[in-house]
């Protein structure tokens, strides 16, 4: 369970993702990324948002970007 908690904390708190039922995945990127000191970028190779698979790249102080996966 601690691994799941760490993943969700990084996804929601660091990357700025906020789930919104019925909204497109891009709407889920609610705010700019706020990463810990010393971190420049955070990448999730595969996340499921809104029923589709994406790669999520979040740079500190910028809105994350989603790349659809096949």
At residue 49, does pLDDT exceed 90? no
Which has more confidence, 6 or 33? 33
Which has more confidence, 62 or 6? 62
Q: Where are the domains of the chain?
A: 2-68
**CA angle at 45 for the pair 62 and 42, rounded to the nearest 5°:** 35
Q: Is the dihedral of CA 59, 28, 53, 70 positive or negative?
A: negative
Contact 14, 40 (CB under 8 A): no
| pTM of the predicted structure, to 2 decimals | 0.82
| Residue in 12, 54, 57 with CA at minimum distance from that of residue 39 | 57
Percent of the chain with pLDDT over 90: 49
């Amino acid at each position: 369970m601690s691994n799941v908690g760490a993943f969700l904390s990084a996804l929601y708190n660091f990357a700025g993702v906020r789930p919104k039922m019925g909204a497109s995945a891009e709407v889920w990127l609610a705010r700019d990324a706020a990463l810990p000191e010393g971190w420049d970028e955070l990448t999730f190779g595969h996340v499921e948002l809104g029923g589709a698979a994406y790669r999520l790249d979040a740079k500190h102080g910028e809105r994350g970007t989603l790349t659809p996966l096949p």
